[in-house]
Amino acid sequence: MKDIQKQNDRRANRKLTLVARGLRRKSTQAERTAWDLLRNRQCMGMKFRRQHRMNGYFLDFYCAQLRLAIELDGPLHDQEAQRRHDQHRDARFEALGIRVVRIRNHEVTPARLAELVGSAREDTPSKIKTTPTSHVHQK
């Protein structure tokens, strides 16, 4: 019985991994820009994951050190039903101690991302190892 459960779990994990890959491949221009700025510890030395799966959802960008999720919102998020869904989802993550920050696609800039990460670093207890980089590298 446990073997069957393990097989089912592996299949489900494989399917979710494929979903995450698909989301990464079909990312918006804002998501690609943000990833170029956040990847490889380029933003204040913090490691971010892209399309990170957690609690049945995919977070656009997640930093485990800061317990910070950055969600990019396009026009779809202006609709009332989507806004309610986002609020419910964000509340679930905040109950887990994860800070969710939503920014509009057109607000994705090196300065804005550095501001968000810097603010999260200030609000997070010390003991965070960082590289000496204190800003987002511009390409």
- The predicted-structure confidence for 64-114, as pLDDT tens digits, reads as follows 999 999 999 988 888 999 999 999 999 999 999 999 999 999 999 999 999
**Pairing relationship of beta strands 68-73 and 49-54 according to DSSP bridges:** unpaired
> H or E stretch including 35?
helix 29-38
> Tens digit of pLDDT for each residue in 13-52?
666 556 555 655 668 899 999 999 999 999 999 999 999 9
- Of residues 23 and 120, more confidence is placed in 120
pTM given for the model: 0.74
Structural domains of the chain sorted by starting position, each given as residue range(s) with its CATH number in brackets? 28-123 (3.40.960.10)
